[in-house]
Structure 1
Amino acid sequence: MIFNLTTEPWIPVTDLDGNAREVGLAEIFTRSHTFRRIVGETPPMTAALYRLVLALAHRMYGPRDTGDWAGLWEGGVLPPAPVQNYFAQWSQRFDLLDPHRPFLQCAAVSTCGASSAAKLVPHRSTGNNTTLFDHTTASDIVELTAAEASRWLVTVQAFDPGGLKTPYRRDKSSEKAPCNQFGVALVEGATLRETLLLNLVDYDPRDERPHTTTTRADRPDWEADTPQDPNPDQRPPVGWTDLLTWPARRIWLSHHIRDGAPVIDGAVITPGTKVKVDGLAEHEWMGAYWRPEPPRKTEGKRAIRRKSTPVGPLLAVRLMPGRGLWRHARELLLAAPEGSNRQRPLALDRIAERSEAGFLPPDAMYTLRVFGQQLDPKGAIVRGVLEESVAAPVALLRAKEPRIEQILGYAVGLADDIGRGLRVLERDYRAAMRAAPSEDLVRGYWPRLPQPFDQFLRELAEAMSTGRSELPAADTWARAVRRIADTAAQRWAEGSPRPGRTLMAVGECYGRFQGLVAHLVSVYHSEVAACATWEEAA
């Protein structure tokens, strides 16, 4: 074996002291309690590596049910025997450069002729596949270490954009890899061991768990038979680990040996297998989903919701630059009642159940990280990579009271309404002065809201855990939003030109905005007070 991923160091982690290092697949399990987290070169790489490791964890440990999971959680360390037994059976399939069955590759496409290894790395330019982040050209020689190539190989299978690829025969068109369709959500604990266990769902293919995992047929890519035909195809996933390691591309890496170590000097990337499903929400358990509510309309100064019911399929929650993941707190965190217009990641359902069973404290606090990337309108070029987080208190994950959903909806709605007010402030001023539009005003608002919203979630969860009213937490959020909006508006006003007519226009627009904010906050307090609990007088 030239480079076996079970023992060779290639997965980047940080330890509990913050030191970075690389480890092999066996060590990432047996010493997971000594590591903080996996940290890839980009957010998509981090997500792809976690999905690979989670697929392995399911094949090694299950767990079949809450009892199995509790034994792993309470053990302190992950048992080494399942790791040793699994790799004793499948170690050969983890050889990156095996001539017959290389890891996550298809040796049959080697006849296509390798192009630059830069094809593996989305921020490297190759031919027409340029990006906004790169200054290399197709003529530059790109070589990767085996560890680097392994990481990018895993990332390509999960996040490769669509567009034209090298054809095996004639078909060269490809769809974007599955993880481009949703934000990949991961619950993060205090150690890598905790993170892995928190993201394991009940897994038993014999009992078709999780839902849509076909009896006995589910397996990760490396356990599958070598494709007889490397031409692109399409099929539904046979289970959860199949989807976690989906072969979106047929890939082959070329290499040479330098100083006794393999150097990856080329790559073939051809169209692979397309996921054929009616709805992603029925198969992809690391995503969150929602049906958008009808647009808000304005009556007087107050923005209200239409009474119609959301319709259409569940849409995946995705990361959008400048929009803020926290605005999807309901879809990401709250349990969905039957017939709901949202669905959170399945791991959060299991965390709530395990807490209710007494295995996780009700006041535990975790972080939900979501990873993704932005493609160009055609889905062929990477325009940006994204990672955001939101607080995930277990008390909120367990919440079933409708009032919590209402309070979160009002909190997000307040921020949205004030954000629209800032846009109106800018628009009215520009219209009065016949000036060009600008985004400077809202840029001083949205990026400053995630931290106070996390604090709001923590205070809301603490109120629920202690039986206190949710009103103080809601008030803290309102004051934070108002302060941030007012600061943004003041800086805008102070930065505006000073001639007399301009100063009058600024003052008039700013005054109207202040009045709108006062009205919106008053309505928000009334809405929250109508559904929140009240503390009894002593």
Structure 2
Amino acid sequence: MSPGYYSLLDEPWIPVVTKSGESARLGISDVFREARELRCVRGESPVVTAALHRLLLAFLHRVHRGPADGEHWAALWNKGPCITSLTQYEVKHRNAFWLLGGERPFFQCPGLSEVQPKPASQLILHRATGNNTTLFDHTVDTDRPVLPADVAARWLVAVQAFDTGGIKTFYKAPGRKSAKPAHGNFFGTVLLEGGTLWETLMLNAVIYDPGKGLPLGLGDPGDCAVWEREGPPGLEPDENARPRGWTRLLTLPSRNVLLHGVEKDGVPHVDGVVISPGEQLDKEHLTSEAMAAFRKSGARQATTVPVQLEMLRGAWRHADDLLNPGQNEHGRPVTVEDVATHVEHDRLSMTKEVTLRVFGQKLMSNPGAVEYWSEEALPIKLALLVAQDRGWGVKPLFGQAVKLADEVGTGLQQMLRTYREEFRAKFEPHKHWSFLAERYWPFLETGFARLLHDVGDLVAHREPDDPGAQDELRRLFVEWGENVRRTADDALHTWLDRYPGDVPRQIRTVAKVEMIARSNLKKASGVYKHEIDQYIG
């Protein structure tokens, strides 16, 4: 095999933060060799950060052929990566990690070499290309941006997991074909972050033994990462791809991509790219995703759907789904479930604090355009993951806490509908709701993070049959209810100050809906306190 250039094993392209807080870029090899001295990986966007972690996890699983069981996991957690295995793996697969050139460029389809490349800006999901609207940028196809090789490499990995849908280049006439959005768009990617990058990778490294169907029944003994396959992807897209192994899913080539490289000032750059449909995963196979949480939805909670992030409302609203075990493919991610098992078997301390991060990308109704990116963080103690097993009935309590916030938010929204119906004037409820929502939902996040921390601390250090502990648990959740009520009061007060009304009829209508809103708030708070007392009692 003829070699290419710009090796992703050696060249500095992955952005990291050291334990001393300094920013750096490293190749894959050095990321693993220095993982215990690094704080984290941080890309230029949430989708880049999420995609890089998925790539590194696949690399970890394949290098170590595991962790195959709890003991293997504990050995890696305590000792760090096996440098001998890492070196042998790099030697064996070195020719699969050339970004540019060679017979098999990394994560690409060399069969597209006869297709005329488009501007390199197509790689970057928030840049304008063709008819797509933009998230931040106003680049047009007549611009020919040249991307440094490290930037192109990061976005290549991100595109495979998060590319938008819509019309793509196709190697056959007429040269255009519609593609589904890449699978990462359909769920929030959940990541447990530890004190070092190695801790983070191990906290998200599931028990991996394809021969035994681990994880998630993805039991193809031939499971492998994309760079280990016998050959590069074919030109013909697979519109009904099925997950046949965990590392295959982590490195699913949802797009056939080929980068066009040039040298600029003696340094490799990318000035063009072809992006064509590749292996497209159906939504029905999302339950094979180990980094996603699932919740009940629809009439009678009969449907299971992946947890996704929403503008303003925050990941904390899904704390139950993210942290607590569920049934029938409903509940926390497999990665989090495995960490709970390690806590139960004393491989991890209950008192250890980690950060639960959720990364997401929301597409517009036109699936070829990005509406927004999200990255949410919840600091938690690992004790929360085993609270139910230790006899702490916190699952319904967190459910009631989130339910209260939702009901109060709905009450504020209903107040605006009532105002419109009563006043029957030109009134923009969406504009007013945006004003209220921005002063309600974001202000609850800090209080809920404090609730998670304090409940986790209580579970880690007290026993559930301790009457004093139960009183403290009640106090924490009552305090959350009071926080919701204060936040709603403040939001309502701000809205009234901003829109006081300037005619008698409008003032009377405002007074009426305010009275209704405060009455509903008081009622919701009373019901919440009753439910908390019932569960704890």
Q: Check whether TM > 0.5.
A: yes
Instruction: Say yes or no: does 1:432 pair with 2:432.
Output: no
TM-superposed CA distance for 1:58, in Å, is 0.7
* Per-residue deviation, residues 203-228 of structure 1 (Å, max 9, x unmatched): 12232211332342100000012247
Does residue 502 (structure 1) correspond to residue 506 (structure 2)? The answer is yes
Give the 3-state SS of the residue equivalent to 1:291 in structure 2. Answer: strand
Partner amino acid for 1:128? N
2:297 is the counterpart of 1:292: yes
Q: Distance in 1 between matches of 2:232 and 2:222?
A: 16
**Matching of residue 140 in structure 1 with residue 143 in structure 2:** yes
Asked if structure 1 preserves the Cα contact closer than 8 Å seen for 2:164 and 2:363, the reply is yes
**1:402: how far off?**
7.9
Question: Match of 2:99, SS?
Answer: coil
Is the counterpart of residue 231 in structure 1 residue 221 in structure 2?
no
Q: Letter of the aligned partner of 2:395 in structure 1? A: E
The Cα of 1:311 is off from its aligned counterpart by: 1.4
Distance 1:17 1:435 in 2: 56
Matched, 1:329 2:324: no
C-alpha separation in 2, matches of 1:228 and 1:258 = 29
Residue 516 of structure 1 aligns with an amino acid whose one-letter code is N
| Residues 470-489 of structure 1 mapped to structure 2, 5 A cutoff | 470-489=473-492
Q: How many residues align?
A: 514
Task: Tell me, yes or no, if the aligned pair for 2:363 and 2:372 is still in contact at 8 Å.
Answer: yes
Identity of aligned residues (%): 36
- Structure 1 equivalent of residue 520 of structure 2: 516
**CA contact under 8 A between 1:52 and 1:245: conserved in structure 2?**
yes
- Which residue is 2:263 aligned to? 257
Contact 1:453/1:477 (<8 A) preserved: yes
4+ runs of 1 displaced by more than 4 Å? none
Map 1:120-519 onto structure 2 (within 5 A): 120-170=123-173, 172-227=177-232, 229-233=234-238, 234-276=240-282, 278-281=284-287, 283-292=288-297, 294=299, 309-312=300-303, 314-336=304-326, 338-339=327-328, 342-400=330-388, 401=391, 403-433=393-423, 434-436=425-427, 437=429, 438-439=432-433, 440-465=435-460, 466-467=462-463, 468-469=469-470, 470-495=473-498, 496-519=500-523
For 2:69, the aligned partner's letter is D
Pick from 21, 44, 54 the counterpart of residue 24 of structure 2. 21
Which of 105, 109, 112 in structure 2 is aligned with 1:106?
A: 109
Give, in angstroms, the shift of residue 279 of structure 1: 3.3
Gaps of 5+ in 2: 464-468
Instruction: Give a deviation string over 1:235-259, Cα, whole Å, max 9, x none.
Output: 3122000000001111111112233
SS at match of 1:96: strand
The code of the aligned residue for 1:396 comes to: L
CA distance in 2, matches of 1:522, 1:481: 12
SS at structure 1 position matched to 2:522: helix
Structure 1 contact 159–177 (Cα < 8 Å) conserved: yes
Q: Give yes or no for contact 1:332–1:345 (8 Å, CA) kept in 2.
A: yes
CA distance in 2, matches of 1:456, 1:415: 14
Q: Which amino acid aligns with 1:363?
A: T
Aligned match of 2:8:
5
| Cα distance in 2 for residues equivalent to 1:206 and 1:178 | 25
In structure 1, C-alpha distance between the alignment counterparts of 2:448 and 2:148, rounded to whole Å: 42
Report if aligned partners of 1:95, 1:102 keep a CA contact under 8 Å in 2: yes
Give the direction of change, closer, same or farther, for the CA distance of 1:60–1:228 in structure 2 (3 Å limit).
closer
Alpha-carbon spacing, 1:277–1:382, altered in 2? closer, same or farther (3 Å): closer
Quick one: distance in 1 between partners of 2:140 and 2:310? 29
The answer (yes or no) to whether the contact 1:32–1:191 under 8 Å persists in 2 is yes
Following superposition, the deviation at residue 323 of structure 1 comes to 2.6
Q: Read off the aligned partner of 1:94 and give its amino acid letter.
A: F
Shift in Å at residue 277 of structure 1? 7.1
2:90 to 87, 91, 103: 87
C-alpha separation in 2, matches of 1:238 and 1:513: 52
Q: Is the CA contact (8 Å cut-off) linking 1:169 and 1:231 kept in structure 2?
A: no
- Aligned-CA RMSD value: 1.8
Shift, 1:74, TM fit: 1.7
Q: TM-score, normalised by structure 2?
A: 0.92
In structure 2, the CA distance between the partners of 1:142 and 1:241, relative to structure 1 (3 Å rule), is same
Contact 1:36 1:192 survives alignment (8 Å): yes
SS of alignment partner, residue 518 of structure 2: helix
Read off the aligned partner of 2:140 and give its amino acid letter: T
Q: Output the CA distance in 2 between the equivalents of 1:260 and 1:491.
A: 58
SS at match of 1:373: strand
Greater shift, 142-151 or 524-533, is seen at: 524-533
Which deviations, in whole Å up to 9, do the C-alpha atoms of 1:95-145 show, x marking residues without a partner? 111331000001111111111111111222222123142222111121011
Contact 1:126 1:137 (8 Å CA) reproduced: yes
CA-CA distance at 1:363 after TM superposition: 2.1
Q: TM-score, normalised by structure 1?
A: 0.92
Aligned 8 A contact 2:103 2:110 in 1: yes
Alpha-carbon distance between aligned partners in 2 of 1:353 and 1:397, rounded to the nearest angstrom: 9
Aligned residues of 1:183 and 1:317 also touching (Cα < 8 A): yes
Aligned AA for 2:446? Q
Partner of 1:69 in structure 2? 73
Q: Is the 1:6–1:25 Cα contact (8 Å) retained in structure 2?
A: yes
Shifted more, 62-71 versus 363-372: the winner is 363-372
Is the 8 Å Cα contact of residues 242 and 285 (structure 2) preserved in structure 1? Answer: no
C-alpha contact (below 8 Å) 1:333/1:392 kept by paired residues: no
Distance 1:347 1:134 in 2: 35
One-letter amino acid of the structure 1 residue matched with residue 257 of structure 2: I
